[in-house]
Structure 1
Amino acid sequence: MSGRTPADARGWAALGARLFLAAAEGFGPAEYAAPTPLPGWSRAHLAAHLAANADALGNLVHWAATGEPTPMYASPEERLAGIERGRALPAAELTSWVRESVQRLTAGLDALTPEQWQAPVITAQGRTVPAAELPWLRAREACVHAVDLAALCADVLAKRAPAFALRTPDGGVRWNPPGDGEQPVVEAELPQLAAYLTGRRHIEGAPPLGPWL
């Protein structure tokens, strides 16, 4: 199995975007108003989040390419406000935003030089990472939220992109939670463990986790 390279991650991100858009292309107002596994979020919220995330990662691509500090979001409040504005767009405009944001991010990543891939940028969580990590950040968002949109189920994602699924902590099928003292080892089928690790499902006997993405 190949390692977690930027090329691998870009392939997974592209897969997630294709699956997301394949479902969203036919959505009208009623479909976008439907709920998702994320508490309080409709499909419109999810689409606006994914589009805004692509544009925000594009800010980090600009940072890597130019050296000009360009944060993903001006503030957490600005991030949430952008999602709220986006989810209120007409259905066709929201779908277009998702599609065009993917195209912009792809073009920006394509233009990075080998040196720029190593440029340090700061994520929305405050972590300093090389630009080479950006495709992985996008892959997580695109693939997990394709599942959330009900474009596919988790076991289909595991079959379509097994290398992505196996990049969950400690190999994806056995996870020892960090923390002080002895912690329980969580074992489950890959789709169930992936859902647990991203805050979508609880596993009996496992410590509770909040949503990560």
Structure 2
Amino acid sequence: MMDHAHDLASVRDATERLLVAVGTLDNAAVTESSRLPGWSRGHVLAHLARNADALVNVLEGRPMYASAEVRDTDIERDAPRPLDVHLADLRESGTRFQETGAAPADWSRTVALRNGVTDTASRVPFRRWIEVELHHVDLGIGYELADLSAEFTERETEFLAARFAGHPDVPATRLTDGTHTWHTGRTADAPEVTVTGPPAHLLGWLAGRPAGTNAVTAEGGPLPTLPPL
């Protein structure tokens, strides 16, 4: 069962960690490339701020974004801003998300996200935690997959394995870090491809991060190519 209060606290801590790290940059560093193709660090920071507002919309029963075009336009508009503006926006949007999450609500209700995806409201704080943690890594400023907490790594691995479970383009796959095991992909295939690696790198592979893909191995077939998130 999701503990939304615990996850809101984890979001708060992860956001503060992000703000401290980003605060060591300068305006020039914000314009440099992130680890996401085609995006500068400014694009990543702008996306994080607008995602916080988008998830406030979700919790308050509004569409997550007005449209995909508006989402993309807002990120492009905000990406070139100076560092201090990015920092203020991240802090203020993060505060709005925390305040919305603290309001009395039915956390068992179903909410609508993007592209027809629905989920329980109680999972929204975890989704925000994912955004903050993985995009902190994407900034390429010293926070790596291996720095993610064991709790987050295990939960996000389980979340992403479930996301690809039954996907027609993903062969039946067994994932293991030597201690835990997950299954994903098509259920009718036999035998399974077994993907092995350290916990952080299994997560990186599932999340489409090259640092993860480069550090896992596959047996029983080639390393599956996963659909984009």
Sort the Cα spacing of 1:111 and 1:6 in 2 relative to 1 into closer, same or farther, 3 A: same
Q: As a proportion of its length, which structure holds more helix?
A: 1
**Cα drift, residue 193 of structure 1:** 0.9
* Residue of structure 2 equivalent to 1:54: 52
Selected match of 1:190 from 180, 191, 199:
199
SS in 1 for 2:185: coil
**Alignment equivalent of 2:68, drawn from 72, 76, 89:** 76
Checking the alignment, whether the CA contact within 8 Å between 2:176 and 2:195 is kept in structure 1 is no
State the SS of the aligned residue for 1:94. Answer: helix
Partner of 1:9: 7
Aligned positions, number: 199
Residue number in structure 2 paired with 1:67? none
> Counterpart of 2:171?
none
Q: CA RMSD in A?
A: 2.0
1:94 Cα offset (Å): 1.5
The partner residue of 1:123 within 113, 124, 127 is: 113
Tell which deviates more after alignment, 190-199 or 123-132: 123-132
1:90-105 mapped onto 2 (5 Å cutoff): 90-105=82-97
Structure 1 residues 119 and 172, CA, compared in 2 at 3 Å: closer, same or farther? farther
2 CA distance for matches of 1:27 and 1:192? 27
Q: Distance in 1 between matches of 2:48 and 2:142?
A: 14
Alpha-carbon displacement from aligned partner over 1:152-205 (angstroms, at most 9, x marks no partner): 111121xxx211111112687344331252341211101111111110022454
Unaligned runs of 5+ in 1: 64-69
Q: Distance in 1 between matches of 2:207 and 2:99?
A: 28
- Where 2:193 maps in the other structure, the secondary structure is coil
Q: Distance in 2 between matches of 1:37 and 1:210?
A: 18
Aligned partners of 1:20 and 1:151 also within 8 Å? no
Structure 2: segments with no counterpart, 5+ residues: 162-174
Deviation at 1:102, TM superposition (A): 0.3
Is the alpha carbon distance of 1:38 and 1:210 closer, same or farther for their aligned partners in structure 2, counting shifts above 3 Å?
farther
Identity of aligned residues (%): 31
Distance 1:210 1:11 in 2: 31
Change (3 A) 1:162 1:121: same
Return the alpha-carbon distance in structure 2 between the equivalents of residues 33 and 209 of structure 1: 29
Aligned to 1:178: 185
> What does residue 110 of structure 1 align with?
102
Matched residue of 1:117: which SS? coil
In the TM superposition, residue 87 of structure 1 has moved relative to its aligned partner by 0.3
**Aligned with residue 143 of structure 2, among 139, 143, 152:** 152
- SS for the counterpart of 1:206 is coil
Q: Which has the higher strand share?
A: 2
Task: Report 1 or 2 for greater relative contact order, CA contacts < 8 Å, sequence distance ≥ 6.
Answer: 1
Normalization by structure 2: what TM-score?
A: 0.79
- Indicate the larger mover: 45-54 or 202-211: 202-211
Aligned to 1:35: 33
From the superposition, tell whether residues 165 and 172 of structure 1 become closer, same or farther in structure 2 (CA, over 3 Å).
Answer: farther
Aligned to 2:167: none
Secondary structure of the corresponding residue to residue 185 of structure 1: strand
